[in-house]
Chains A and B, each alone.
Chain A
Amino acid sequence: MRFFDCNTYVGLPMNPPPGQPARPGVSAQELLAAMDRAGIEKALVWHVAQRDYDPLAGNELLAEAIAGHDRLAGCWTLLPPQCRELGDLDEWLARAAAAGVRAFRAFGQENRYLLRGEALGDVLSRLAAGRRPLILSVGKEWQALYDLLGEFPELTVILADLDCWGTDRYFRPLIERYPNVCVEISGYILDGGIEAFVGDYGAGRMLFGSGFPAAYHGGMMLALAHAEISEQDKQAIAAGNLDRLLGEVGP
């Protein structure tokens, strides 16, 4: 099986996650070595400074980290454009594309804004038009997510880092209503969850992610490799769906 990891970061977190004193973060080189050990071909990467320090500096660090590594694609972080921090939005998106950025992330809480049309309309309408995926670490923010998708029903949204305490009743209504919503499985460790999802919705909207380096590479790799679904469906979740989504990204 070929794995394309859609949820991994590089860089050193401001606060190492508890229990990880030895190596809380990784450089791009270390990430690639860990991917080799685990058997992962490619990754769609963000930089932890985008969340912990500053989106703009984090975006530049991400661009530097993935430069020259054709196994790594990148994510940049959005801000609401009203403070003029991103400059001209079309130029900003062009610079992102030139830097190898294929998807975007938003950290509304850390960056102190609301994930709504009033704040992000100009940015999100461009993402939707270009079929650029927005990856959101959901946390407990389901109400905001429902509101956001009500405003931008065409947006390609990857729901990432689902917590492990039961999220089906939150995310399944979104899967049923919005055709471009997908789920990333690093936190979706529910027993039988992959099989049930694929049985109800097919395999086209589930994506492999590891959560590395905060989580281990092999957890959901093993779960997916031995899920009771067809080999074709496994391969779609492991890499094919993300290849397809990124292949659809327009100018």
Chain B
Amino acid sequence: MISDSALAESFFRHGRSDACPIIDMHGHMGRWKGIYFPRASAEAMIHTMDQCGVRLLVFCHHAALFCPDIGNAASARAVRKFPDRLRAYLGVNPHYGAALAADLAGFDDNRDVFVGLKLLASYHQVPWDAPAYEPAWRFADQRGLPVLGHTWGGSSLDGPEQVRRAAEKYPNVRLLLGHSLHGDWGEAAAIARDFPNVYLELTAVLDDRGVLETFVAAGLSGKLLFGTDLPWFDPHHGIGAILSAEITDEDRHNILHRNAERLLADVGAKPN
């Protein structure tokens, strides 16, 4: 299947590829109000990762983003249970400044758990350049941390203008555009070309045929990161899409693991 790719041959035959140990840079965990998840627990997610050949998932527990009563502790528990397979983004809820300050103050003591920050401005209804986010941006900029932001084309909260502004103002942040400014693919590619520290993350991008080819043709093979929103989307679906796209196996290795390996090594979070 996919007759022109050796990598596809391996994935279709075995479901995974030892030569291509995947890093998923965008996950969540646990139940969530809007979707029935058959596999929401850390254990079930690890099972899926095993099935698909995903060696490492960087995630942010739904509770950290949607339930201030529980917060980031949920992510930490899961990472400490599966330290070889999981790392977390510290979830930022801009409505709870004191809790955020406390989380950031504890960040350096929990580097075994957290590799960066996660923003979900479209859901929290606060724009990236609002004062409430500034402590998080400054913290990440000082440390050169990855910040995975949900980004969406047309959004005034986390759309292209906000992304450009943040990339200019915080040049040390490794800015991961979750969903690649979904729908505004041209702007996503332009921003990723303009700013060396901006990466395009592919959750919910891979269900639209052709976007990946557009990004690779724009010279961005080295700046694309695989992601699934696990437990939302089956990694096999995303992998199968990447195998189907009209790009090379070298591009596929870049997207599925090499770019993430380099990024994580750069920020001192080298996967095992």
B139 within 8 A of A: no
Segment 174-233 of B: residues with Cβ below 8 Å from A: 183, 185, 204, 206-211, 213-214, 228, 230-233
Residues on B lying within 8 angstroms of A by beta carbon are 1-4, 8, 11-12, 15, 34-39, 44-45, 48, 51-52, 183, 185, 204, 206-211, 213-214, 228, 230-241, 243-245
Contact with B along A15-38 (1 / 0, CB 8 A): 001111111100000000000111
The chain A residue with its CB closest to the CB of B233 is A189
CA distance A17 to B209 in the complex (A): 9
Q: In the bound complex, do residue A192 and residue B37 qualify as a contact, i.e. CB atoms below 8 Å apart? A: yes
Write the nearest CB–CB distance from B203 to chain A, whole angstroms: 10
Write the nearest CB–CB distance from A204 to chain B, whole angstroms: 19
The chain B residue with its CB closest to the CB of A213 is B209
A216 within 8 A of B: yes
In the complex, what residues of A have CB within 8 A of residue B39's CB? 191-192
In the complex, what residues of B have CB within 8 A of residue A190's CB? 35-38, 232-234
Q: In the bound complex, do residue B36 and residue A219 qualify as a contact, i.e. CB atoms below 8 Å apart? A: no
Q: In the bound complex, do residue B36 and residue A223 qualify as a contact, i.e. CB atoms below 8 Å apart? A: no
Q: In the bound complex, do residue A192 and residue B209 qualify as a contact, i.e. CB atoms below 8 Å apart? A: no
In the complex, what residues of B have CB within 8 A of residue A17's CB? 208-210
Counting from the closest, the 10 A-B pairs by CB-CB distance are A222-B240, A166-B35, A20-B210, A192-B38, A218-B244, A216-B244, A218-B240, A19-B211, A226-B15, A196-B38
Q: In the bound complex, do residue B209 and residue A223 qualify as a contact, i.e. CB atoms below 8 Å apart? A: no
CA distance A211 to B237 in the complex (A): 13
With A18-B208, A168-B36, A191-B235 known, 8 other A-B pairs at CB within 8 A are A17-B208, A168-B35, A191-B230, A193-B234, A218-B8, A220-B237, A222-B15, A223-B240
In the complex, what residues of B have CB within 8 A of residue A215's CB? 207-209, 241
In the complex, what residues of A have CB within 8 A of residue B237's CB? 189, 219-220, 222-223
In the complex, what residues of B have CB within 8 A of residue A21's CB? 210, 214
Contact with B along A190-224 (1 / 0, CB 8 A): 11110110000000000000011111111111110
Contact among B1, B11, B233 for A164, CB-based, below 8 A? B233
In the complex, what residues of A have CB within 8 A of residue B240's CB? 216, 218-223
In the complex, what residues of A have CB within 8 A of residue B51's CB? 226, 228
Q: In the bound complex, do residue B37 and residue A191 qualify as a contact, i.e. CB atoms below 8 Å apart? A: yes
CA distance A165 to B206 in the complex (A): 14
In the complex, what residues of A have CB within 8 A of residue B183's CB? 18
CA distance A5 to B92 in the complex (A): 43
In the complex, what residues of A have CB within 8 A of residue B2's CB? 37-39, 217-218
CA distance A192 to B213 in the complex (A): 28
In the complex, what residues of B have CB within 8 A of residue A223's CB? 234, 236-237, 240
Known A39-B3, A190-B37, A193-B38; judge A216-B209 contact (CB<8 A): yes
Please indicate which of the listed interface residues A168, A212, A222, A223 has the most CB atoms of chain B within 10 Å of its own CB.
A222
Q: In the bound complex, do residue A19 and residue B1 qualify as a contact, i.e. CB atoms below 8 Å apart? A: no
In the complex, what residues of A have CB within 8 A of residue B1's CB? 38-39, 218, 221-222, 225
In the complex, what residues of B have CB within 8 A of residue A112's CB? none
CA distance A226 to B238 in the complex (A): 13
